[in-house]
Each structure stands twice: as C-alpha cells, then as structure tokens.
C-alpha cells in the first residue's frame, strides 16, 4: 500500500511557480554615475550589501581616524560579551596622557587619572581623541601593540582582506592601512552587530568633566551630523599624506546607505562630495525587502500531512537593490517541487526564492520549513490516496 501511495505521489509532483511581485510599469531616464572628487570612494546599500558606486575602491589608503571604527568594535564586542563594563575605570598612563599634548585631536585626559570606559568611548567616537584610544587599548590589552593584534584578528573575522592595523588611533604609520571597501564592510559590521552602542556615533558633542580642571566641551567632527540628511555616523579622518577622509552612514526612507571616501582635498569637499554621493544613491536606487527571516511569509501545499499547508522562511533577511530604471524588469518567484509529502521537519529545505532581473544572473535563496508537519495515520493516508484517484483532489 505504501508503494501505491508513493507512486500516486510521484504522479502528482509538479513545479509550482508563483509571481510574488508584479513589476512596476513605468520608465525612468538612464542613470549617470556621479563624479566624486576624491582619490577613492564607495557607496554601499546597508541592507542588501550591494555596491552602488565605486571609484578605485581597493586602492590602499591610510585610514587615519577611521581606524577608530575598529577600536570601537573591539570595545563593543567585549561589552557585549560581558567581559567589560561601561563603568569600569582605567588609570591613564604617561603614554596615553602624552597623546593629548602632541597637537592631535584629544579629549585631554590627565596623567594617573581614573577614567570610565564610557567616557573614553565618547572621547574616541565623538571627539576623535587619540589619547582616549591609547587609554582603552592599554586598559584592555596591556599595550597598544597587543590591542592592534586584537584589531587584526577581528579584521580577518569580518573579512577585511586588504587591511592591517598597527595602532588604535590611526596616527602616521605606513603599516596601518586599509581600503574604502574594507572600511565600508567594517562600518556595516559595526552598525549591524552593536546597534545600541552605535548610538554614540550620532552624538554631536561631548563634555569631559575632567579631574583638576574646568569641563571641556567638544563637538563631533562628522560634518554630516549637522546636515538635515538623516546622518547618524560614522567617522572622519585626516593625515597630511592622505588628506581628508570620511566614513558616513545615512538613513533614507526604509533604508540605510554607507559611503566611504578618502583623498578629499578640503574639509568642505569632504562634506559636499559625500553628500553628493549619498544623495545620488537615494535618488536613483531603491531597496526592496524580499524576506524577513523572523517572519515565515511563504506558504506551501502539503500532501498526506496533518496540515494542508506549511509556512516557509529564509535563514537570513533578503534584500534587493536596483537602479530605479530597472524596476520594470524585476520579478520574484517561489519555486518548489510539490505538494510537499509529509512528514516535514522544521528547517527542512522546502523550496527556493528566485529573483530575476535583466542586469544580473538569477539569484536563488533557499526556503526552509518554519514548522513541523506530521504525516496522517495509515487509514487516512489510504483514504486520501483513493480520494485523489477518484476525484483528483489533492
């Protein structure tokens, strides 16, 4: 009898393809790429990871204070693991203190003072304090050299293939290098993995209530925070050999863009050219949510199961970014070989999402069962099989 049921099941196997999203029927003018006056730059959609624009994106650069993004990641990671607390205090060494007297950006910590991790973090993130970087590095790893090893280990973990760190601040060192592509990847990792701590990057000022002196109030050096464009980070940089740089993040309508540029000739061009690049991306591209991993929105018919349908989910959020002129050729399908024969276990692969565009190869994303579907008992399966033979009703 089981052999007969299997035979019947093989007879009714079909491929079901359902159109999920109907293409929008309109045309737009062709999109021209912006001319960004920087040595190297990149624009990434945060959700989809798609690169919308790049100019010499793999050219080696000196990241300057954009290095502090990784310094922050190391601290955030330890906080998230519970190995460090915001109210922990580090004693300021002479090495860290001297960084506040060298003419570079600093929060002006005092020798032998005890400063909390949270204050040092704000000193790094908001006012770009090199002294705060060294104090955190020494407090966490004993020496800045040891801390740099932690930074490089994390860089490999994240997938930064053209990056090496030798210090926590980004000060002059030919062996402290990266690329705008790696910095964009690093910035996305920061925002995705530490959303609560990332809020420090949006703070426009920090007042350091130092010991033995009047409070020092300094503003955030990120110029885009003061523009009405939805910026909430990330980090500026400057070295005489590299000129001005900026990693920035802007939230548009239901999306986020990350831009990184280096080799801007002036502070003004750093701001205006970064805004030009981000504005171009928001105007000319759209990002669509195809699947939310937390919401099993796809339904599949079942056969010989205690449920008529099973819901499917993806293991990751799925987004697609397109130029607006390409939207009319955008189609998304669900494909599966079914009805699906019970029993079905949770997390069994049950189908695929197929994304079709004219510009790229088809994208295929696996879909998995979000629940278990048990098989009906022998007598009901026999009844259902005969019912199908007579009426053809699955």
Residue 25 has pLDDT above 70, yes or no: no
Of the listed ranges 25-29, 154-158, 286-290, 370-374, the one predicted with least confidence = 25-29
Residues 241 and 366 in one domain: no
Rounded to an integer, the average pLDDT of 38-67 is 97
Residues 257 and 190 in one domain: yes
DSSP 13-38: -EEEEEEEEPPP----PPPPPP---S
Residue 160 has pLDDT above 90, yes or no: yes
**Residue 276 covered by a domain:** no
Residues 376 and 229 in one domain: no
Residue 376 has pLDDT above 80, yes or no: no
**Residue 35 covered by a domain:** no
Torsional class of 158: left (φ above 0), alpha (ψ -120 to 50), beta (otherwise): alpha
CA distances in angstroms from 200 to 59, 65, 205, 243, listed in the order given: 29, 16, 10, 25
Whether the CB-CB separation of 336 and 350 falls below 8 Å is answered with: yes
Residue 76 has pLDDT above 50, yes or no: yes
**Residue 387 covered by a domain:** yes
Residue keyed to tokens 């239901």 = 254
Cis-peptide into 119, omega within 30 deg: no
Per mean pLDDT, which of 140-144, 319-323, 340-344 is the most reliable? 140-144
Cα–Cα distance, 110 to 91 (Å, whole number): 9
**Residue 78 covered by a domain:** yes
Q: What is the DSSP letter of 65?
A: G
SS3 (DSSP) at 178: strand
Catalytic residues: 65, 68, 128
Residues 338 and 213 in one domain: no
CATH number of the domain where residue 203 is located: 3.40.710.10
Q: Of 264, 279, 309, which one is at a domain's C-terminal end?
A: 264
Whether the CB-CB separation of 108 and 211 falls below 8 Å is answered with: no
Instruction: Quote the number of domains for the chain.
Output: 2
Rounded to an integer, the average pLDDT of 185-205 is 98
Q: Is 202 exposed, middle or buried (0-12, 13-18, 19+ CB in 10 A)?
A: middle
Residues 21 and 84 in one domain: no
Residues 372 and 246 in one domain: no
222-225: list long-range contacts, CB under 8 Å, 24+ apart: 222/246, 222/248, 223/267, 223/270, 223/271, 224/248, 224/250, 224/271, 224/274, 224/275
Cα–Cα distance, 10 to 8 (Å, whole number): 5
Residues 146 and 174 in one domain: yes
Rounded to an integer, the average pLDDT of 263-283 is 96
**Residue 47 covered by a domain:** yes
Residues 132 and 248 in one domain: yes
**Residue 278 covered by a domain:** no
Whether the CB-CB separation of 137 and 143 falls below 8 Å is answered with: yes
Torsion over CA of 254, 258, 264 and 269, rounded to 10 degrees? 10
**Residue 275 covered by a domain:** no
Report, in angstroms and rounded to the nearest whole number, the Rg of the chain calculated over CA atoms. 27
Q: What percent of the chain has pLDDT over 90?
A: 71
**The two structure tokens encoding residue 243:** 């000129």
CATH number of the domain where residue 297 is located: 2.60.410.10
What was the pLDDT predicted at 383?
A: 53
Whether the CB-CB separation of 313 and 300 falls below 8 Å is answered with: no
SS3 (DSSP) at 96: helix
Residues 153 and 258 in one domain: yes
Residue 12 has pLDDT above 60, yes or no: no
Residue 381 has pLDDT above 70, yes or no: no
Q: Of 264, 298, 332, which one is at a domain's C-terminal end?
A: 264
Residues 59 and 19 in one domain: no
Residues 161 and 66 in one domain: yes
Cα–Cα distance, 259 to 261 (Å, whole number): 7
**The two structure tokens encoding residue 214:** 């009047």
Residues 164 and 251 in one domain: yes
- Residue 164, domain extent: 40-264
Whether the CB-CB separation of 106 and 210 falls below 8 Å is answered with: no
**Residue 285 covered by a domain:** no
**The two structure tokens encoding residue 32:** 């021209």
Whether the CB-CB separation of 291 and 328 falls below 8 Å is answered with: no
Cα–Cα distance, 61 to 211 (Å, whole number): 38
**The two structure tokens encoding residue 188:** 């996305």
């Amino acid at each position: 009898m089981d052999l007969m049921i299997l035979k019947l099941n093989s007879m009714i196997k079909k491929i079901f393809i359902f159109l999920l999203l109907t293409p929008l029927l309109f045309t737009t003018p062709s999109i021209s790429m912006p001319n960004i006056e920087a040595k190297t730059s990149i624009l990434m959609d945060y959700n989809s990871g798609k690169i919308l624009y790049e100019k010499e994106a793999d050219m080696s650069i000196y990241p300057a204070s954009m290095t502090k993004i990784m310094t922050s990641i190391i601290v955030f990671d330890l906080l998230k693991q519970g190995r460090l607390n915001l109210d922990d205090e580090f004693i300021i060494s002479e090495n860290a203190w001297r960084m506040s007297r060298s003419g570079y950006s600093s929060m002006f910590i005092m020798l032998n003072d005890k400063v909390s991790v949270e204050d040092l973090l704000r000193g790094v993130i908001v006012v770009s304090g090199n002294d705060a970087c060294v104090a955190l590095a020494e407090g966490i790893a004993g020496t800045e050299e040891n801390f740099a090893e932690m930074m490089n280990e994390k860089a490999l973990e994240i997938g930064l293939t053209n990056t090496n760190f030798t210090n926590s601040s980004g000060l002059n060192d030919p062996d402290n290098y990266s690329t705008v592509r790696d910095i964009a990847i690093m910035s996305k990792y920061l925002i995705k993995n530490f959303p609560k701590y990332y809020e420090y990057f949006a703070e426009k000022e920090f007042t350091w209530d130092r010991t033995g002196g009047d409070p020092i109030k300094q503003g955030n050096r990120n110029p885009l925070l003061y523009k009405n464009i939805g910026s909430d980070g990330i980090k500026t940089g400057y070295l005489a050999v590299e000129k001005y740089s900026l990693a920035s993040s802007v939230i548009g309508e239901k999306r986020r863009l990350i831009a990184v540029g280096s080799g801007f000739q002036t502070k003004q061009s750093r701001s205006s050219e970064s805004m030009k690049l981000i504005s171009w991306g928001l105007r000319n591209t759209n990002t669509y949510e195809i699947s939310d991993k937390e919401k099993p929105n796809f339904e599949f018919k079942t056969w010989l199961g205690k449920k008529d349908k099973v819901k499917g989910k993806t293991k990751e959020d799925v987004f697609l970014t397109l130029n607006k002129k390409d939207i009319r050729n955008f189609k998304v399908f669900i494909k599966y070989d079914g009805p699906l024969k019970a029993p079905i276990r949770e997390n069994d692969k049950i189908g695929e999402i197929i994304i079709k565009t004219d510009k790229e190869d088809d994208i295929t994303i696996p879909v998995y069962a979000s629940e278990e579907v048990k098989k009906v008992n022998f007598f009901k399966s026999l009844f259902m099989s005969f019912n199908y033979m007579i009426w053809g009703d699955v």
